[in-house]
Amino acid sequence: MITPELTRYIQDARYIGISDAEIVQKLEQAGWAPILMAAGLRALTETSARESVVLETHNITKTYEGNSNALQGVSLAIHKGTSVAIVGKSGSGKSTLMHILATLDRPTSGELIIDGTPTSQLSQPDIDALRNKKFGFVFQQFFLNGRDTCLDNVTLPLAIMGVSKKERIQRGMEMLKLVGMEEKAQQKAVELSGGQKQRLCIGRALITQPEVIFADEPTGNLDTENSANVMKILLDLQKSRGITLILVTHDPDLAKLCDRTITIKDGIIV
């Protein structure tokens, strides 16, 4: 029989990033019968769909052409409303993992489950729609339109969605206020400092009210002071709005600000 204890054990182990192979090993050592473990792992895949897990991966690998094994079997579960830092040295596979979690790229093998739905079962247009609805992005390179105003930049996702100008202005001004940029509304983005640009990007990522924010080295181009300020705004908004934050960083001090840290080395969670 699959006991709640077994399910909970597997869930917790996956939650902290232990791979299924390791879980089986540990359970074996603890004296569980192999058949129960397999059933337990299967049952968990079903349970996690119902529970608070927003993103889950099963044994994901990624092989780029001419570059063996950027990811070599990553299994993890990320709970709704939490902040998770993905840390590791340059080239360890952080961005690859983030891109796959965010559906910007597909794994070579393994499964990504979003809100209980295995993404391998979805068509590309469905995946694109899901990404637009649920995810927001903040990158190290700001990708702002320098010649457009801050208000136009922050409301760009709404314009793409076909939201009326009146509503765009209203929501845009609210968002600029939240990131401390309301006085810059009519200024062109090119005129901003690095910290201001990144705050604008946070506003643009949040304006569609996404469930998950992916931030890849968001403070990589900022000095210490601006970096602290941007992190504070990001984490304050994440908490107050119950958003899940996935922060990719090589900086252990930034990682400490998150609820949990996933460390990746040579494409494996350690």
Residue 226 contact, options Mg ion, ligand ADP, none, Cβ 5-8 Å cut-off depending on partner type = none
- 52 vs 67 by CB, closer to ligand ADP: 67
95 binds Mg ion (CB under 5 A): yes
Spatial strand order of the sheet with 67-79 comes to 67-79, 53-64, 109-114, 117-118
| Nearest-approach distance from CB 60 to ligand ADP, in angstroms | 12
CB of 105 to ligand ADP, least distance (A): 8
Of 8, 110, 16, 2, whose CA–CA distance to 62 is shortest? Answer: 110
Residues 6+ apart with CB under 8 A from 138: 198, 201, 202, 205, 213, 214, 215, 216, 218, 234
Considering only 39-47, 72-80, 81-89, 92-100, which stretch makes contact with Mg ion by CB under 5 A?
92-100
Q: How far is the CB of 94 from ligand ADP (least distance, A)?
A: 3
Residue 92 site contact among ligand ADP, Mg ion, none (CB < 5 to 8 Å, cut-off depends on kind): ligand ADP
Residue whose entry in the numeric block shows the structure tokens 């596979």: 93
Q: Which two tokens stand for residue 92?
A: 């360890």
3-class secondary-structure state, position 174: helix
Strand residue runs (E) in the chain: 53-64, 67-79, 83-87, 109-114, 117-118, 135-139, 212-216, 244-249, 260-265, 268-269
143 binds, options Mg ion, ligand ADP, none, Cβ within 5 to 8 A by partner type: none
Shortest Å, Cβ 140 to ligand ADP: 10
How near is the Cβ of 13 to ligand ADP at its closest, in Å?
Answer: 24
Which one of ligand ADP, Mg ion, none is in contact with 91 (Cβ closer than 5 to 8 A by kind)?
Answer: ligand ADP
Q: Which does 96 bind (CB under 5 to 8 A by kind): Mg ion, ligand ADP, none?
A: ligand ADP
Interface ranges with ligand ADP (CB under 6 A)? 64, 67, 70, 88, 90-96
Contacts within 8 Å (CB) and 24+ apart, 117-123: 117/49
